[in-house]
Structures are given as structure tokens and as C-alpha cells.
Amino acid sequence: MMPLVKNLKKIPSAPGIYLFFNSKKELIYVGKASSLKSRVKSYFVSRKSPRPIEEMIHEVASVKYIVTSSLLEAVILEGSYIKKFKPRYNIKWRDDKSWNYLVITKDKYPRLETMREHELKFAGSASRRKFLHVFGPFPGLNTKEAMRILHRIFLFSDCNPKKGRPCFYCQLGQCLGVCVGGITQKDYMKKVIRPLVFFLKGKKKVVIKNFTKQMRMASKIEDFESAARLRNQIKALQKIQDAALLNINFLREEILKGNARSLRIEGYDISNLGASNMVGSMAVFDEREPMKSQYRKFNIKTVAGQNDVGCLAEIVGRRLKHTEWPLPDIFLIDGGCPQVSAVLRILQKQKIDRPVIGIAKGLQRKKNEFIISNPAWTGLARQHENLLIRVRDEAHRFAIGFQRKKRFFSP
């Protein structure tokens, strides 16, 4: 096992899929991760894992990985590997409720729809006649978020053809006008469905290449509206915002069962001396130890006066702009209800579904009162109570240290 563990150090902290092979070079498990390094490392730590995980890890002889540029592409690639190779442990641990599929219908203007495993089973062979394509399975996929991302990029229609008035998305410029007869069936297949299928087959580079070629042709004939649309599609493909892509219930259940990767927690705190030298901190833990290379300091830029809630909202908002940083499983706040509510509003605005947990010291500043944004996460908070307190204390220490250093060097 030691040579294998040493090789794990080479795995990057990037999104992608990881593949476990046994001694016969058979693929026994494939998984996705927003951070390959953290996820794969979590399987091989010395702490005791649940029995099903131990059973699998005992068989692992080698680990391979494939880096993707986004979690969405990792989800799609994972689905294609499960479908093609049917890894033993993926099949053994399958859950009809969390195994989702994306299907393209055979309508005149095809639609992209979502289905669950049991729905496809119920449809049986009829599904082959009803759908042009079936993609998946995608374990734990937040289908609503996936549809939102894909719709923004590929502009597929979900309304009735020629209903006489433009739909909501058409008015926003996010639909090519199927509802008002603004696009022929042939053009819809070419401009919408074909690139969507290529993307869901893992061929993003082909899609970007074709969009770039079409954009140049549109500019050449002075069709600037189409050129601008294609430019926006290319940009959206190059920087996919997929922080909330994993289903929150799937994530919670996997963590509680012990099947998920190591828990990533980000702890936040504000430190100030009156209304001056206001700073914020972000401490990061991977469930076992601090990840100090990923700590971050923030100088408060937009908040005037002593306003811890406003400062906290600022630093979390700035943190979320860094889509290259893995999204935590828990946002941990040094504070009470006002602080938790402020962070929760920021996450909801970004459509990020993650628990926010605050730890307040109480009126006597001697107690640890937990404020949890969603009661469904109470069990998780109790399970990791000591760790959460440790993260809170570390974020507090880091913030105070930064504030003192800044004050020392201030004129």
C-alpha cells in the first residue's frame, strides 16, 4: 500500500474523475471530485473507514485520474465510464433515487429532460423509441442546477413551438425563438441539439472549435447578433460556474454514511480594532488537519464602520468569485444568527446549496451555541462538533494574527 500512497501526492487539487483498479487491472470504481487530491487522499488515511469502503480499498492496486476543467465535465465523464465499464462497486452501491440521467427527446424541436434510474427502468424498451439520446448515469447530480447551466450555454427550448408569443427565456435572449417560429427545425438541430450532444459526450473542445468557426463566419457576413450570441456561449463554456452541481441530499447522506470524500470545511472570522484595520480570515480544514496553504486573508474594502455582519458578507462574496477554489461542504462562521443569515443570503443569491453553521460564544462568552442554517444538517454538526469548534478557533486565531500584524506595520 505504501508505494500507492506515495504516488497519491502527485494528484492535483483540480476537478476530475478518479479510477480505482484491482490487481487484475479491472476498473472497480470511478468517482468524481471537485478536488481530486483531497477526495482520493481521503480513501487512504489511517482512520477506520466504513466496512464497504475498507472492502474496496483492500482491492485497490492502482489509481488513475483524469483532470477536467470543471465539475460538470467530471460528472459527465464519470457517467460515461460507469455506463461503459460498469465498475463493480459503482453498481453494488447504486441508488435509484440519486442516479440521474439526462435525455434528449424525439420531439420536432427536441427537449433536454431529466430522469431517474427507476423511471428509465419503468419505461423499458419504450425509452429507446421516445428519446434521441440517453446520457448517464450521473450519481448525486443536482439536475436542476445542471439544467440551468446547460440551458444558459446551449439555449435549448422548453416551450411549445409557435405558441404565438415569446416565452420568458426568449425575452431574455436565452432561447432562439422556437415559441414564435424564429428558427427552423433544421437550424435548431444544428445550432442547439448537435453541440449539446457533443458536450454531453465529453467533446467540449469540438463544441468550442465549431462555435468559434461559426462566430467568425457570422462576423464576416455582419450578422453581429449571432456573433455576439456565439461569443457568449464560448465564454460560458470556458468558465462553467458549477459550484452547486452536487445534490445536497446526496452529499449529506454520503458524508454521514462515510462514503464521501474527506469533509472540507471553511471557517470565517472578522477582526478589528474599533472601526480601523478591519480584516477577515478564511481557515480551511479537510476533516483531519488544517490545510494552511489554502488559508486566505482579506482586507475589508467596502464596509465602513464597525459592522461584522457586513464585513463577513463581503469576504464570503469575494471568496465565491474564486471558482478555481474547491467549494467547501460546510461554511463555518464565528458568530450567531445575524452572521449565519448574512452568509446564507450570499450563497442563495449564487444558488449554492451548502450548510452554514455559526458558533456563538453566548452572553457569558463561555458557551458554544451552534446555529445551523438547515435542521437537516444537525446530525452532521453533532458528529463533527469538536472539529467545528477547532476550525472556529483557528479562523479566529488567524484573523487576530493578521489584524495585529497589520496594526503593527500601520503608520
Ranges 184-188, 244-248, 333-337: which has the least confidence = 244-248
Q: Is 134 helix (H, G, I), strand (E, B) or coil?
A: strand
Residue 105 belongs to what H/E stretch?
Answer: strand 99-105
Can you give the pLDDT at residue 3? 47
| pLDDT tens digits, one per residue of 345-379 | 999 888 888 889 999 875 555 678 899 987 767 76
Can you give the pLDDT at residue 1? 39
| pLDDT tens digits, one per residue of 140-179 | 777 777 888 888 889 888 777 666 677 777 776 778 888 8
Cell of 354: 451548502
Ranges 57-61, 233-237, 267-271, 403-407: which has the least confidence = 403-407
Q: How far apart are CA 172 and CA 290, in angstroms?
A: 45
Can you give the pLDDT at residue 17? 93
pLDDT at 382 over 80: no
Mean pLDDT of all residues in 378-406: 85
Mean pLDDT of all residues in 385-405: 89
Q: What is the DSSP letter of 290?
A: B
Of the pLDDT bands very low, low, confident and very high (cuts 50, 70, 90), residue 275 is: low
Cell of 207: 463544441
pLDDT at 258 over 50: no
- Find out whether 156 and 111 touch, Cβ atoms under 8 Å: yes
Can you give the pLDDT at residue 260? 46
Q: How many helices (H) and strands (E) does the chain have?
A: 18, 12
Ranges of H-type helices in 162-223: 168-171, 185-188, 194-200, 204-220
Q: Is 364 helix (H, G, I), strand (E, B) or coil?
A: coil
Can you give the pLDDT at residue 328? 86
Q: How far apart are CA 88 and CA 55, in angstroms?
A: 12
Cell of 107: 420531439
pLDDT at 284 over 60: yes
- Find out whether 157 and 179 touch, Cβ atoms under 8 Å: yes
Q: How far apart are CA 107 and CA 196, in angstroms?
A: 15
- Find out whether 206 and 215 touch, Cβ atoms under 8 Å: no
- Find out whether 17 and 65 touch, Cβ atoms under 8 Å: yes
Residue 31 belongs to what H/E stretch?
Answer: strand 27-33
CA neighbor of 156 nearest in space, from 166, 148, 164: 148
- Find out whether 334 and 359 touch, Cβ atoms under 8 Å: yes
Cell of 303: 464596509
Backbone angles phi, psi at 70, to 5 degrees: -155, 160
Q: What is the DSSP letter of 246?
A: B
Can you give the pLDDT at residue 367? 73
Mean pLDDT of all residues in 241-252: 52
Ranges 89-98, 175-184, 203-212: which has the least confidence = 89-98
CA neighbor of 12 nearest in space, from 68, 57, 59: 68
Q: How far apart are CA 379 and CA 385, in angstroms?
A: 10
Cell of 110: 427536441
Q: Is 182 helix (H, G, I), strand (E, B) or coil?
A: coil
HSE-CB of 286 using CA atoms within 13 angstroms: 20
Mean pLDDT of all residues in 6-33: 88
Q: How far apart are CA 163 and CA 181, in angstroms?
A: 8
Q: Is 350 helix (H, G, I), strand (E, B) or coil?
A: coil
Can you give the pLDDT at residue 2? 39
Q: What domains are defined for the chain?
A: 2-92 (3.40.1440.10), 99-238 (no CATH), 263-409 (3.30.420.340)
Neighbouring C-beta atoms of residue 89, cutoff 10 Å: 18
Percent of the chain with pLDDT over 90: 33
| pLDDT tens digits, one per residue of 119-139 | 777 666 555 567 888 888 888
Q: How far apart are CA 167 and CA 174, in angstroms?
A: 10
Mean pLDDT of all residues in 223-228: 90
Cell of 113: 429532460
Whole-model pTM: value is 0.54
pLDDT at 411 over 60: no
Can you give the pLDDT at residue 5? 52
Can you give the pLDDT at residue 128? 59
CA 388, 391, 397, 399: dihedral to nearest 10 degrees? Answer: -110
Query: Chain-wide mean pLDDT for the chain?
Result: 82
Mean pLDDT of all residues in 390-400: 92
Q: Is 72 helix (H, G, I), strand (E, B) or coil?
A: helix
CA neighbor of 76 nearest in space, from 237, 209, 308, 268: 237
Can you give the pLDDT at residue 72? 86
The residue among 246 and 219 whose pLDDT is bigger is 219
- Find out whether 149 and 200 touch, Cβ atoms under 8 Å: no
Can you give the pLDDT at residue 327? 84
